Amino acid sequence: MRFEFADPHLNGMSIAGTNGDGITYIFRTYYRAQTATPGYFTNFFYSDDDSWFQGGGAGNGYGFHPYPVNASGQTDNTQLENHIHSIADGSDYPANTGTWVNHQVTFLQWYLNVVQIINNGTNAVTYRYYYDYENNPSTYIETTGHNPSEPINPVIAFGDAPHAPGDEVLSGIIRDIRIYNTLLTRSEVDQEISSVGSSGNTPWYYNLDPTPTDISDKSGNGHNPSWIGSERPGLYTTNEPPAPTAPTVSLTATPGTIDTGANSILSWTSTNADSCTASGAWSGAKLTTGSESVSPTSTSIYTLTCSGAGGSAEDSATIQVNLGSGTSEPDMQSDFGGLSAGDDPENWLDTASESSLTEDDAMFKIMNVDGENVFGTDQTDTTNIHSHYVSIGSANWTNYQYTGRMRTSSASDTLGVTIFSDYPNSDSYYRLRREDAGSFNIAPHGTGIECLGTTDTGVTPTPGIWYRFNLQAEDMGDHTSIRAKVWQEGSTEPATWQVNCDDTDTRRTMGTVGIWSVVSGSDVGAKYWDDLRVEPLAAGVPVNAPPMLSFSATPEAISIGDSSTL
């Protein structure tokens, strides 16, 4: 018995794909040993309706199915291997790669089949068969032949082979059928298996749960197959127990925002779970239902994963810590020499890549360079990572200078320092940076943040050499002034500012400091910072500002013989 799609080529589905786009078939099979009239096994064919050959001449078609290991006489169907059979204009292109056991079929087991008809564009077609995609998604057999012509009476048949009904049959169950008149990528195949249409591709036909009375097309395309003859399969049912129910978990933090030193209560419940494990800002085994008091010193994410017979579930809660609930004069000195390699310096909080605000203390650490312990990163596969200085009142620092030194390892390394940073509220700040192979310059970051004026120091660092910096940010009432200078350690500090620029619109007027780096692509060298210090500016006078002179004469106009006071 079989059902088939007649004349698919008249309904947008040709033998090798419409307009050369290829075809993808996805379906599940459950094989049983044949108990009567032993013969070949089949799954489906695209071929001529009445014969593998067309009127005794050259044939065209393909099939993907198990094949007896002992093919002689087709009498031994207790051992099967997966097989591709294709024929194009009389030329036979079988695929029997490897040994039998590599592709051997196990009876009474579901197999997820993925078939791809790949039009190579050179009058050649590759037939690829993933015969156990669910358990071995990278394993397939394939064969390549020249591009076949459309059969005289083409059909797509599931069940008995259209050219040998009753002899080449499917002994088992078939379901979850999807046919696409395009070649799906592996990623798209995975999406379609999970949910039909989720990859953006509409199936030419699908029916995930076909029955003897309903094999209709559920895609809305109207490509409905027909049963051939009066014979029908039985409806398969199972008495297997239902799958275990998946766990659920709910985790909350009350309150969700606290001041530094205050507590928040984490509360959680779960269902269908045998155990729970904490990660993120907490750790260890937890009860399946419970509560716990925590007192984070910075914004933190708490995650709880609960597991049971039906799998696992995860939930997270974020506690925001208000770091601006105090005031202090800008004052910070980080000399890392007293720490050990691998340490995380106090009050420096690392955040994850892509300018994330999520804490990830694996980004920066104390490193030993030329016998000195300094702050640095040797990450190689992340980008736009930060470490922020976090202390009570640091979020409200204003009118200060930020000094220190930094060092690259290779000519293309990217690194910098940040000032007036809005962390932990947003990734907005002014930044002194060196990007790729360029010179140190001001590069603000954040919506509407800019700096107009002289922004480039003209100093391009040499790898392996320390460079001192002095970076100042000052709220001038109607604009924010940014000044900077950079010089090689051991040389004379420049007398004037190399950078002097202003931000007048959506500007920052306060915030903390930090360090920044890119560590992907060509920017894979280690980067280092040291001697980081913050000091307040004298009111209205930039630290290290050039000398100012005021000169006047009173009165400014006199007669000959009179005097004026300078």
Q: Any idea which fold 2-228 has?
A: Jelly Rolls (2.60.120)
**Cβ pair 162, 185 in contact under 8 A:** no
| Three-state secondary-structure class, residue 100 | helix
Task: Please name the amino acid found at residue 186.
Answer: R
Domain residue ranges in the chain: 2-228, 248-322, 332-536
| Mean pLDDT lowest among 158-162, 279-283, 316-320 | 158-162
Q: DSSP assignment of 297-354, as one string?
A: SS-EEEEEEEEETTEEEEEEEEEEEETTSS---S-EEE-GGGS-TT---TTEEEE-TT
The tens digit of pLDDT for each residue in 100-131 reads: 345 677 888 899 999 999 988 777 888 888 98
Architecture of domain 248-322: Sandwich (2.60)
**Residue 99 reports pLDDT greater than 90:** no
The tens digit of pLDDT for each residue in 14-42 reads: 988 887 789 999 999 998 877 665 567 78
pLDDT at 73: 43
**Residue 534 reports pLDDT greater than 60:** yes
Q: How far apart are CA 31 and CA 82, in angstroms?
A: 12
pLDDT at 454: 96
**Residue 20 tokens, joined:** 């050369």
**Residue 452 reports pLDDT greater than 90:** yes
pLDDT at 538: 75
Q: How far apart are CA 115 and CA 130, in angstroms?
A: 6
**Residue 395 reports pLDDT greater than 70:** yes
pLDDT-derived band of residue 75, with 50, 70 and 90 as boundaries? very low
CATH of 332-536, one of 3.40.190.10, 2.60.120.560, 3.40.50.1820, 2.40.50.140: 2.60.120.560
**Residue 415 tokens, joined:** 């690194």
Q: DSSP assignment of 526-541, as one string?
A: -EEEEEEEEEEPBTTB
**Residue 529 reports pLDDT greater than 70:** yes
Angle at 221 between CA 217 and CA 226, to 5 degrees: 40
Percentage with pLDDT > 90 across the chain: 48
- Quick one: CA dihedral 420, 423, 429, 434, positive or negative? positive
Q: Name residue, tokens 């907005």.
A: 428
Instruction: State the average pLDDT for the chain.
Output: 84
| Mean pLDDT lowest among 64-78, 235-249, 252-266, 341-355 | 64-78
Q: What is the mean pLDDT of residues 177-205?
A: 94
Other CB atoms closer than 10 Å to residue 152's CB: what's the count? Answer: 14
**Cβ pair 531, 433 in contact under 8 A:** no
Beta bridge partners of 527: 377
Q: What is the mean pLDDT of residues 370-398?
A: 89
Q: How far apart are CA 8 and CA 156, in angstroms?
A: 7
**Residue 139 reports pLDDT greater than 90:** no
Q: Among 187, 210, 213, 215, which residue's Cα sits nearest to residue 200?
A: 187
pTM: predicted TM-score of the whole model, two decimal places: 0.46
**Residue 74 reports pLDDT greater than 50:** no
**Residue 519 reports pLDDT greater than 90:** no
pLDDT at 42: 81
Between 243 and 58, name the one with better pLDDT: 243
Classify each residue of 357-396 as buried b or exposed e, where b means 16 or more C-beta atoms within 10 Å of its C-beta: bebbeebbbbbebeeebbbbbebeebebbbbbbbbbbbbb
Percentage with pLDDT > 70 across the chain: 85
CATH fold match for the domains 2-228 and 248-322: no
